[in-house]
Every structure is written in structure tokens, then in C-alpha cells.
């Protein structure tokens, strides 16, 4: 024996089993393998090795296997016992069941196992035996418990215990006993009526154990709940469907369907929706005058349930809505106005207008409204602004309408245009095209607002457009050639310029561009300005000019020379005091530095009479007496003045 190692083998279902022997003898032995006395075929024989194999054992493979070998001289045998076991395999579990009152209810579990398991049933933890109430059965691998004529005391938890000595398990399930839903009414069908716009309710009462769940259907389809459809339930089993503001489309069959675990019941209500015949509360006016090219509105008010539909008529022709004919009716609660609006009214819109008002309750007709159409002046095409170069022709065109044909007047800046201003006017009455031409336009003469005025018996209308003359810059008022100012004061340089588009200005000081911070433009005067603040000789005296540019050209101003004047400055060099005492024969000298712009005029007097200065070199002015005499005694006064100021200094000479 090669294997198995023992004479008794215990295996589980699915495991492998093998018998293996080496058999020798001469003559070659005859070999036979039996299971429980019945011959089985060896799996393989190779030389002396005899093998019997089962890849995965099953319960039916259990038994006593005997191998016999014999020849002429002797016989040998060996016995091996195979024991097979299988754990519990639940293929269908115990599940909760719902049983109709008085009917049988069966709980069952399907289990494969070897050895065959012992199954025990319990109700609320009390073991159950076969009886008139409980029937316990086994069919193949299906184990069942039947509760006969189920009643409310049979409701509870049932437990099954499965044990085959090798494996053990248990499961539980609930048994519920119920009563089918029932409609608590003489008949499960009825009819109701409601008026459009009113609220209505449909109610049905149901009984049943367990309490039924009620769902609603409309014409066989589930009814969604929303703001208009609401469902409520009461403790006594009444389900109510509330319909807010009933509509014609709410007409149909409403089904209340009650369902519980043991059955269902239905109740149906056929709902009819009725209407109220239309009533005219405000009829059409007898007559209406419409303006050609404008919109015309006719309205009436009418009530009815549902809200009536209105068809508008002109004569015997029904008016269909279009891009020119607009029809509207009430949209909100409490609204009852119906309107027809005709845009861009034309003479062909004249006629007798009426309306037909209809709903499911009936119909009626309005009175007639006679519409007449007039033509007031109107601009069909707008004037557009024009930009024209100096000397060329400006053309303004528009399209007008009106009856009688309007009088057309063209104006420039509020004044009528004539041939004198180069104006030529054209008008085509058939097409309504109006045209204004102005030849050889001039910036000063023709720039501004062009107006086209229309007038007839029914009114007047105006359109305006701007006429801009494009011209290169032209200086009409030049810079002054010279400007004078006093040091420290502000000065403004000005130049007046024509040009369109408005020229840009660049100022220059001694040919160097000036930053734009202190430049300005007076639109009313067309004046460009340069403000020079706190003038000084060193920083500001010199030549100024301005260059003006636009898309059509440029212009340069004449230069302006700015002179900055300075006040007189008198600096006394000597004597040190204003009173000098000298003895005859001593020297006397008066010395001053005198500055100013323009150069000051200097005069020295003695006792009011002019005396001549001894020397003038640059700003230094000197008066000298080499040896004084008594007649030199007196009051000496030095005076210096220019355009901006005057200064003086007095020195008294005493001679002893």
C-alpha cells in the first residue's frame, strides 16, 4: 500500500481521495477493486502501480473499498473505509412572510448537507411539533413549516435550527397576518362636478390590516403632487385629494388605490368640470381715430369661467396675430382685459372692428368700433451727422411721411437756410425723400446743428444732425509779438485758432517744448492759453510760440518775446551813515550800486538842485569831492526809477 496511510479516511465534500498500491507476483496477479461489494474501475495501472482517484468526493463516494489480488499461488486483499461529510450549505434562506387572515402560511429553508441535518422549528423561542396548527415537512433538501389557518396570535418571530453534527446554524423570520384593504363605502365608484377656477376635494375611506398605503391615479396614470394637487390622510383611513383652482384639463377619472402586504383595493371618482358663459363688462368704443405710422390699441373687458378666448375681426375678416398685429388677454388672477394692438398703422387698417368672445359655457359678440386713420408728419429715416472737408459739399438726406404733405424747412443753428448760404433743397413727394445740399462749406459759416422741420395740420416734427467742417488749423488771432511782465507775477499768452477736428497745441519756449500742465483751452472763444506762473528773468524771459496740428494739417504762430521787468534796487556802498561831519579840506564820497530792468534813470540833487555824478561804471554810481568847502554843505538825495518802481536815498553833509 502506497496510500492512504490509514485504513479509515475522513474527507469533506470536494476534497480529493486516492488509493494507490504496488502489486507484484508471478504469474501476474488478477486485481479487483470493489466499493461496498460492487466492482469499481481503477483509474490507472502503470507497471505494478495500481491507482484509484476521486478528484472531489461526494456523499455517494462514502463506503468500504476492498482491493483483491490473486494468482495461482496466493491471494491478498486490503480494505480502506472512506467517510464523507458536508458542511451546511443554505441555498434559500428563511424570509418574512405575509399571510391573509385564515389562510395557511409556509416558512421554508433549503439546505444541502451530509449527513442530512436535523431541523428544529421554534415560535417565540418555543419548540414546535407537528400538530393541527403546525405541519413540519422535509422534501429532499427543502425543510418547511406550515402554519394552518393563520390568525393574529400566530404573528411573531419563527426560528429554525439546522444541525448535521458537523455544522450548525439558525435563522429567523417574521410571520405577519393581515386583512386586505377594503373600500368603506356602499359602492367603490361615484361622480363629482366642479366649476373651473374653484377648489374641489375627492375623499375615500379604506380599512385593512396592516394599514393600507393609498396612492392616487388620474386616467390610469400616477398623479404627481404639486401646488395644485395635494393629498392628505386621517387616522381613520380617509385619503383626500384636494385640487386647487380646477381647470378644464382636470376632467377625468381619479382612482384611489389602497395597498398593503396582503392585497389592494380601488375606488374611482369621475370628475366633471363646468364653465360660466362669458359676459362683456366693458364693450368697444363706437369710434377711434388712429395716427398713421403709430400704434393703435382697442380693448374690451369680459368675464367667464374658464377665461374666454377672443377672436378679433375687421369687417368680416378674422385678424391673425403677426409682427404688426399683437393680441393679448388676461394672464393673472382677477384680470379680464383683452387688447388688440396694430403697430405702424396704415390707411388700409381703417374699418369696423369687432370681437367674438367664447368659452365652453357659450359665446357672444361685441359692438363695432369704426377706425379712421390720419397721417401726421413723421421721419421714416433719421438725419445722420456729417463730416465734410472745408470747401466741399455737405449733403443731408432723410425720408418723411405725412398727409397732407408736410411743409419742409431746413435750418442751420436755428436759422432757415437759403441759397445765400449755398443751400439747395430737393423733395420727391412720391417716395418721401428729402435732400439738403450745401456747397463750398466753410468752418465759420456752416459748422453747427442742421434741423429738418416738418409741419402739417396734424402736427410738426423735427430731426437734427451735426455738421462738422473738417479744416486744417488757422490762426485768427496771433500771439502778441512782445509781452512785458514784472518779475514774480503771472502772465498768460493767448492765440485764437479755427480748425476741425479741434487742433492739438504744442507750446515752445526758446524752441524747447513746454509741458502741458499749465496749458488750457477756452472752447467758447476757441482760444489756446499758456499760463506762466511767477515769472523770472532767468527761467522765463525769451521767445514763445505754439504749433497747432490736426489730421488735415498744422499751423505755427508768430513768435512772442517775453520781457520780465525787475524793480529798482538801491544798494548804498558809502558813506556808512546818513549824516556826515567833515572839516574843510577833507574828502567826501557818495557811492551806490543801482540795479533794475529796464535800466533805472538816476539823478543826484543837492538841496533840490541836480548835481552831476562823478562816475558811472556798470551799476556803480559815484559822486566825489576831493576837499570839501563850506559851500559843499547840504542835503544830497539820490533818486533811481524805472517803469516798475522808484527808490531814493538821502545823505546830509555838515562842513566845519
Helix (H) or strand (E) holding 446: helix 443-446
- For domain 478-558, give the CATH number: 2.60.40.10
- Give the per-residue pLDDT at 293: 82
- Give the per-residue pLDDT at 14: 87
298: three-class secondary structure by DSSP: strand
SS in 3 state form for 447-502?
CEEEEEEEEECCEEEEEEEEEEEEEEEEEEECCCCEEEEECCCCEEEEEEEEEECC
Flag whether pLDDT at 112 surpasses 90. no
* Burial grade of 604 (CB within 10 A; 0-12, 13-18, 19 or more): buried
Fold of 184-274: Immunoglobulin-like (2.60.40)
Q: Give the rounded distance of the alpha carbon of 400 from its chain centre.
A: 42
User: Is it true that the peptide bond before 463 is cis, omega within 30 degrees of 0?
Assistant: no
Helix, strand and coil percent figures for the chain, each rounded to 5: 5, 60, 35
Residues 569 and 647: their CA atoms lie apart, in Å, by 7
Flag whether pLDDT at 453 surpasses 90. yes
Cell numbers given for 400: 418723411
In this structure, what are the phi and psi dihedrals at residue 348, rounded to the nearest 5 degrees? -70, -10
- For domain 8-86, give the CATH number: 2.60.40.10
Q: How far is CA 545 from CA 417, 486, 495, 548, 558, in A?
A: 40, 20, 10, 10, 6
b/e sequence 333-368, b meaning 16+ C-beta within 10 Å: eeebebbbebeebeeebeeebbbbbbbbbeeeebeb
141: three-class secondary structure by DSSP: coil
Residue 293 makes CB contacts below 8 A (sequence gap 6+) with 344, 345, 375, 376, 378, 380, 401
Determine what percent of the chain is predicted with pLDDT higher than 90: 75
Determine what percent of the chain is predicted with pLDDT higher than 70: 100
Cell numbers given for 538: 532767468
Q: Tell which residue, 22, 18, 35, 24, has the closest CA to residue 79.
A: 35
- Give the per-residue pLDDT at 241: 95
Mean of pLDDT values over 432-440: 94
DSSP codes joined into one string, 85-104: EEEEEEEE----EEEETTS-
- Give the per-residue pLDDT at 416: 93
Cell numbers given for 436: 439738403
Instruction: Summarize pLDDT for 471-506 with one digit per residue, the tens.
Output: 899 999 999 999 989 888 999 999 999 988 999 999
CATH superfamily, with its number, for domain 567-655:
Immunoglobulins (2.60.40.10)
CB 146 within 8 A of CB 175: no
- Give the per-residue pLDDT at 405: 86
pTM above 0.75, yes or no: no
249: three-class secondary structure by DSSP: helix
Instruction: Summarize pLDDT for 598-624 with one digit per residue, the tens.
Output: 899 999 999 999 999 999 999 999 999
Residues of CATH 2.60.40.10 domain(s) within the chain? 8-86, 93-179, 184-274, 276-375, 382-470, 478-558, 567-655
- Give the per-residue pLDDT at 419: 85
Q: What is the DSSP letter of 42?
A: -
- For domain 93-179, give the CATH number: 2.60.40.10
CATH superfamily, with its number, for domain 382-470:
Immunoglobulins (2.60.40.10)
Cell numbers given for 33: 477493486
Instruction: Summarize pLDDT for 300-351 with one digit per residue, the tens.
Output: 999 988 889 999 999 999 999 999 999 999 988 888 999 999 999 988 899 9
CATH superfamily, with its number, for domain 276-375:
Immunoglobulins (2.60.40.10)
Going by pLDDT thresholds of 50, 70 and 90, the confidence category of residue 231 is: very high
Instruction: Summarize pLDDT for 531-586 with one digit per residue, the tens.
Output: 999 988 889 999 999 999 999 999 999 999 999 999 999 999 999 999 999 999 99
Residue 195 β-bridge partners: 274
Q: What is the DSSP letter of 443?
A: H
Q: Tell which residue, 371, 369, 455, has the closest CA to residue 406.
A: 455
- Give the per-residue pLDDT at 354: 97
445: three-class secondary structure by DSSP: helix
Quickly count: other Cβ atoms within 10 Å of residue 206's Cβ. Answer: 28
Quickly count: other Cβ atoms within 10 Å of residue 181's Cβ. Answer: 26
- Give the per-residue pLDDT at 462: 94
Quickly count: other Cβ atoms within 10 Å of residue 545's Cβ. Answer: 19
Instruction: Summarize pLDDT for 123-161 with one digit per residue, the tens.
Output: 988 999 999 999 999 998 899 999 999 998 999 999 999
Residues in the chain: 656
Mean of pLDDT values over 269-278: 89
Strands 189-195 and 263-274: parallel
Mean of pLDDT values over 238-246: 93
Amino acid at each position: 500500500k502506497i496510500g492512504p496511510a490509514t485504513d479509515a479516511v475522513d474527507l469533506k465534500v470536494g476534497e480529493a481521495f486516492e488509493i494507490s498500491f504496488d502489486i507484484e507476483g508471478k504469474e501476474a496477479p488478477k486485481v479487483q477493486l470493489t466499493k461496498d461489494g460492487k466492482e469499481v474501475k481503477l483509474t490507472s495501472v502503470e507497471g505494478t502501480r495500481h491507482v484509484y482517484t476521486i478528484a472531489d468526493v461526494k456523499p455517494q463516494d462514502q463506503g468500504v473499498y476492498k482491493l483483491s489480488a490473486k494468482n495461482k499461488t496466493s491471494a491478498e486483499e486490503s480494505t480502506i473505509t472512506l467517510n464523507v461529510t458536508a458542511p451546511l450549505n443554505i441555498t434559500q434562506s428563511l424570509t418574512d412572510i405575509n399571510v391573509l387572515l385564515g389562510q395557511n402560511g409556509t416558512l421554508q429553508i433549503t439546505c444541502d448537507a451530509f449527513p442530512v441535518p436535523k431541523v428544529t422549528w421554534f415560535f417565540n423561542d418555543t419548540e414546535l411539533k407537528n400538530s393541527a396548527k403546525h405541519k413540519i415537512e422535509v422534501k429532499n433538501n427543502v425543510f418547511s413549516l406550515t402554519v394552518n389557518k393563520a390568525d393574529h396570535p400566530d404573528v411573531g418571530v419563527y426560528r429554525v435550527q439546522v444541525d448535521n453534527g458537523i455544522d450548525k446554524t439558525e435563522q429567523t423570520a417574521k410571520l405577519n397576518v393581515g386583512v386586505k384593504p377594503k373600500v368603506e363605502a356602499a359602492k367603490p365608484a361615484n361622480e363629482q362636478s366642479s366649476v373651473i377656477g374653484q377648489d374641489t376635494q375627492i375623499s375615500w375611506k379604506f380599512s385593512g390590516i396592516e394599514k393600507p398605503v393609498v396612492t392616487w391615479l388620474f386616467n390610469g396614470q400616477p398623479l404627481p403632487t404639486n401646488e395644485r394637487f395635494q393629498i392628505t390622510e386621517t387616522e381613520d383611513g380617509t385619503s383626500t385629494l384636494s385640487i386647487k383652482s380646477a381647470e378644464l384639463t382636470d376632467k377625468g377619472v381619479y382612482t384611489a388605490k389602497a395597498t398593503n402586504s396582503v392585497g389592494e383595493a380601488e375606488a374611482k371618482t369621475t370628475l366633471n368640470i363646468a364653465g360660466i358663459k362669458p359676459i362683456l363688462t366693458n364693450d368697444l368704443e363706437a369710434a377711434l381715430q388712429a395716427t398713421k405710422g403709430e400704434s393703435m390699441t382697442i380693448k374690451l373687458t369680459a368675464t367667464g369661467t374658464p377665461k374666454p378666448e377672443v377672436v378679433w375681426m375687421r369687417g368680416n375678416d378674422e385678424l391673425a396675430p403677426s409682427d404688426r398685429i399683437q393680441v393679448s388677454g388676461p394672464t393673472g388672477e382677477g384680470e379680464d382685459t383683452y387688447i388688440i394692438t396694430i403697430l405702424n398703422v396704415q390707411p388700409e387698417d381703417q374699418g369696423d372692428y369687432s370681437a367674438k368672445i367664447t368659452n365652453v359655457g357659450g359665446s357672444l359678440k361685441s359692438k363695432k368700433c369704426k377706425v379712421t386713420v390720419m397721417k401726421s408728419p413723421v421721419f421714416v429715416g433719421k438725419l445722420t451727422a456729417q463730416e465734410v472737408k472745408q470747401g466741399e459739399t455737405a449733403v443731408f438726406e432723410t425720408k418723411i411721411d405725412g398727409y397732407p404733405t408736410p411743409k419742409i424747412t431746413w435750418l442751420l443753428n436755428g436759422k432757415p437756410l437759403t441759397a445765400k448760404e449755398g443751400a439747395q433743397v430737393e423733395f420727391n413727394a412720391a417716395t418721401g425723400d428729402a435732400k439738403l445740399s450745401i456747397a463750398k462749406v466753410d468752418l465759420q459759416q456752416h459748422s453747427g446743428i442742421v434741423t429738418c422741420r416738418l409741419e402739417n395740420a396734424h402736427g410738426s416734427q423735427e430731426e437734427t444732425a451735426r455738421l462738422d467742417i473738417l479744416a486744417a488749423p488757422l490762426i485768427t488771432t496771433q500771439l502778441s509779438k512782445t509781452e512785458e511782465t514784472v518779475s514774480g507775477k503771472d502772465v498768460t499768452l493767448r492765440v485764437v485758432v479755427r480748425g476741425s477736428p479741434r487742433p492739438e497745441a504744442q507750446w515752445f519756449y526758446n524752441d524747447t517744448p513746454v509741458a502741458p500742465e499749465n496749458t488750457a483751452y477756452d472752447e467758447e472763444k476757441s482760444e489756446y492759453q499758456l499760463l506762466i506762473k511767477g515769472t523770472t528773468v532767468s527761467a522765463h524771459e525769451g521767445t514763445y510760440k505754439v504749433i497747432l496740428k490736426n489730421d488735415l494739417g498744422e499751423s505755427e504762430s508768430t513768435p512772442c518775446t517775453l520781457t520780465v521787468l525787475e524793480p529798482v534796487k538801491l544798494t548804498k556802498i558809502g558813506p556808512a551813515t546818513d549824516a556826515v561831519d567833515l572839516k574843510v579840506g577833507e574828502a567826501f564820497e557818495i557811492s551806490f550800486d543801482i540795479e533794475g530792468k529796464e535800466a533805472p534813470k538816476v539823478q543826484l540833487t543837492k538841496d533840490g538842485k541836480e548835481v552831476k555824478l562823478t562816475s558811472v561804471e556798470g551799476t556803480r554810481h559815484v559822486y566825489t569831492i576831493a576837499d570839501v568847502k563850506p559851500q559843499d554843505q547840504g542835503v544830497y538825495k539820490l533818486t533811481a526809477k524805472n517803469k516798475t518802481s522808484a527808490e531814493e536815498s538821502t545823505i546830509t553833509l555838515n562842513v566845519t
